[in-house]
Amino acid sequence: MLKDITLGQFFPGNSFIHRLDPRTKLIFLIVYIATLFTASNWISYGLMIAFLALVIAISTIPLKSIVRGMKPLVFILIFTGVLNVFFTAGETVLVSFWIFTITLEGIIRAFFMMTRILLLITGTFLLTYTTSPIALTDGLESLLSPLKKLRVPVHELSMMMCIALRFIPTLIEETDKIMSAQKARGADFETGSLMQRVRALVPILVPLFISAFRRADELATAMECRCYQGGEGRTKMKLLRFHRCDIQAFASAAVLLAAVITLHSFGL
Amino acid sequence: MSTAINVEHLSYQYPGVDDTPGTVVFENLNLTVEHGSFVAILGGNGCGKSTLAKHFNSILLPSGGKVYVCGMDTADEEKLMQIRRNVGMVFQNPDNQIVANVVEEDVAFGPENLGVASPAIRQRVDQALRQVGMYDYREHAPHLLSGGQKQRVAIAGVIAMEPKCIVLDEPTAMLDPKGRREVLETVLRLNREKGITVVLITHHMDEAAKADRVVVLHKGQVALDGTPRQVFAQVEKLHELGLRAPESTELCHALRQQRIDLQEACLNEEECAKILSEAFGKTFPGK
């Protein structure tokens, strides 16, 4: 059961998208999302969809895994759609009953909103699918490093993220072990009312937390022994560097943004 | 030149809670470790083995007396980084000392902290991974490795800082026999080939038998000190301290008590087989 948990799933590969600098991908995603919110008509949405489809094709990520990642979001999508259909004022009334009226504008708006959410999430998935967690934290640290001047602990945050990612599998394994041990002593996690099941989790969480704190303590000692003293004076084995492919990516993002803004301002 | 580690009149008392005073671990302990030697430290539970190890790189500071590492006083705060880069520590649980989620990134952690330039880090990481025989696993995730492999990654992480001395605090306690052998062989090789001083704290007598020197701690004092042969010859004394000699040494000792005349003490299975075959005039099939 616990084996199914996947966080920040990463598909190793060597496509154009995989080779991009993590910073490029992060900036790209932000630009794409910003563009998404400027898009306001059929042509610009068509452009956005086509562009993402192209990126998916280049990345060689199987479409199936992207669709699978969408499943938990179906509810939010439908909810957004329904809300927009019923609560958008418009002139072309299609159906009208009781206090509800459905207008053509409402349906179009709902469709746009759903597409927007879908594209937003697919784009984010693509980032985590094509970037290893370490590259992602490195990229974030590098992008946020100007904030260091404002005394934001950027290095510490990225170190924490890195360690958290490192310990997820270890802690999952540990949880499995504790659950087996409790089951062997007659604990029941599967039957009973919701309250009973929640209460059954306490004997798992208590030892898990105790062991996590012990681990943290030992890890801190081990890090100190390896001369860790925060981000100051620290170097990196792998330096992030922009290559030609990054410039190409930036250029395409700029073209896309310009196209959508133009379409928007001409009201097409 | 100075010795690798020099403990002079060390006393240590754990800080007390509220009004109760903390446990006294050492009172006037003296010990020196020569450069390039391989010292095993043995002792029953609570004799202060791990506490002593933590004094070797300023994790703990003496309450009295001095600890010198390569001539540097561990209480000198300005030398802290210098001391820690010279004395690497490997702990019992490999899971709790691996920081990154890729093997090579973890090995790079130490040199990165020291501010080594990027190309040099790459070089050190590759070299360290080759020395522990984990180069082929450099891009693996640590949680998918076996215990022995994880512990070797931890050792690589330490030697990438190019220390003069490695202190291992029961590095094999959580490993299976295969992992234990891998780790011990790695440590032995580093000592023989690279001349790195090794202090190995252990519960396994057959590991201690491979050292140049064995120190037995008892109640915060050095109870026995000498070559493995000298120390393990004193089987009775070891029993008094709540320890046992290696199995084959114990066997010879038991036979001698049955008035079977054996010439000398042995340290490992091969020696044992040889002595027994001489005593009984028979040859025993090898392993």
Phi-psi region of A236 (alpha: psi -120 to 50; beta: other; left: phi over 0): beta
- The vertex-A139 CA angle with A138 and A143, nearest 5°, equals 120
For the residues A41-64, what does the mean pLDDT come to? Answer: 86
Name the minimum distance, in Å, from the CA of A130 to any CA of chain B: 16
- Among candidate residues B33, B80, B44, B43, the one with its CA nearest the CA of residue B60: B80
Out of A13-22, B145-154, B156-165, B263-272, pick the least confident.
B263-272
For the residues B207-213, what does the mean pLDDT come to? Answer: 91
In whole angstroms, give the CA distance from residue A105 to residue A41: 12
- Among candidate residues A106, A107, A117, A92, the one with its CA nearest the CA of residue A39: A117
Chain B positions in Cβ-Cβ contact with residue A222 (cut-off 8 Å): 89, 91, 96-97, 99
The first and second tokens of residue B95, run together, are 């899971």
Residues of B engaging A, defined by a Cβ cutoff of 8 Å: 57, 59, 81, 84-85, 88-89, 91, 93, 95-102, 104-105, 108-118, 121-122, 125, 141-143, 157-158, 161
Per the CB < 8 A criterion, the answer to whether B123 and B202 are in contact is no
Res B97: pLDDT: 92
For the residues B217-233, what does the mean pLDDT come to? Answer: 89
Which candidate from B81, B95, B112 shows the least CB-CB separation from A235? B112
pLDDT at A208 over 80: yes
Q: B274 vs A7, which has greater pLDDT?
A: B274
pLDDT at B14 over 80: yes
Query: Confidence band (pLDDT; 50, 70, 90) for B20?
Result: confident
Residues A120-135 have pLDDT tens digits of 988 888 888 888 888 8
| Residue/partner pairs of B141-144 with CB below 8 Å, 24 or more apart | B141/A169, B141/B101, B141/B102, B141/B103, B142/A166, B142/B98, B142/B100, B142/B101, B142/B102, B142/B103, B142/B106, B143/A169, B143/A170, B143/A173, B143/B95, B143/B101
Per the CB < 8 A criterion, the answer to whether B10 and B60 are in contact is no
Res B287: pLDDT: 47
**Cβ-defined contact of B112 to A223 (cutoff 8 Å):** no
pLDDT at A267 over 80: no
In whole angstroms, give the CA distance from residue A122 to residue B243: 63
H or E element that contains A94 = strand A93-97
Q: For residue B104, how many other CB atoms are within 10 A of its CB?
A: 24
pLDDT at A41 over 90: no
Query: Confidence band (pLDDT; 50, 70, 90) for A38?
Result: confident
Percent of chain B predicted with pLDDT > 90: 45
**Cβ-defined contact of A237 to B118 (cutoff 8 Å):** yes
Chain A / chain B CB contacts < 8 angstroms: 92
Query: Confidence band (pLDDT; 50, 70, 90) for B283?
Result: low
Chain B positions in Cβ-Cβ contact with residue A170 (cut-off 8 Å): 95, 143
Residues B112-131 have pLDDT tens digits of 999 999 999 999 999 999 99
In whole angstroms, give the CA distance from residue B160 to residue A81: 57
Residues B149-203 have pLDDT tens digits of 999 999 999 999 999 999 999 999 888 989 999 999 999 999 999 999 999 999 8
Out of A44-53, B20-29, B153-162, B257-266, pick the least confident.
B257-266
Per the CB < 8 A criterion, the answer to whether B218 and B44 are in contact is yes
Res A1: pLDDT: 41
Shortest CA distance from B89: residue in chain A: A225
Please provide the average confidence, as pLDDT, over all residues in chain A: 84
Alpha carbon of B2 to those of A64, B9, B55, B65, B249: distances in Å? 65, 17, 18, 18, 35
Q: B146 vs B279, which has greater pLDDT?
A: B146
Residues A215-224 have pLDDT tens digits of 999 999 999 9
For the residues B8-15, what does the mean pLDDT come to? Answer: 88
Which candidate from B84, B101, B143 shows the least CB-CB separation from A227? B84
Percent of chain B predicted with pLDDT > 70: 97
Res A193: pLDDT: 84
Chain B positions in Cβ-Cβ contact with residue A163 (cut-off 8 Å): 99
Residues A155-167 have pLDDT tens digits of 888 889 888 888 8
The first and second tokens of residue B268, run together, are 């490992």
Residues A56-108 have pLDDT tens digits of 888 888 888 888 878 878 888 899 888 888 887 777 777 777 777 788 888 88
**Cβ-defined contact of A225 to B118 (cutoff 8 Å):** no
Res A5: pLDDT: 46
In whole angstroms, give the CA distance from residue B223 to residue B238: 9
Name the minimum distance, in Å, from the CA of B30 to any CA of chain A: 24
Res B213: pLDDT: 93
Residues B77-107 have pLDDT tens digits of 888 889 999 999 999 999 999 998 889 999 9
Res B1: pLDDT: 52
In whole angstroms, give the CA distance from residue A165 to residue B98: 12
In whole angstroms, give the CA distance from residue A59 to residue A53: 10
- The vertex-B125 CA angle with B122 and B126, nearest 5°, equals 85
Task: Tell me if chain B has a CB within 8 Å of the CB of A142.
Answer: no
In whole angstroms, give the CA distance from residue B260 to residue B275: 12
With a CB cutoff of 8 Å and minimum separation 6, the contacts of B189 are B131
Res A102: pLDDT: 80
Chain A positions in Cβ-Cβ contact with residue B88 (cut-off 8 Å): 225-226
Residue type at B33?
V
Q: Which domains does chain B have, with CATH numbers?
A: 5-245 (3.40.50.300)
- A268 three-class SS: coil
Query: Confidence band (pLDDT; 50, 70, 90) for B18?
Result: confident
Instruction: Give the dihedral of Cα atoms B62, B66, B69, B73; nearest 10 deg.
Output: 90
Query: Confidence band (pLDDT; 50, 70, 90) for B263?
Result: low
Res A268: pLDDT: 55
pLDDT at B282 over 70: no
Name the minimum distance, in Å, from the CA of B88 to any CA of chain A: 7
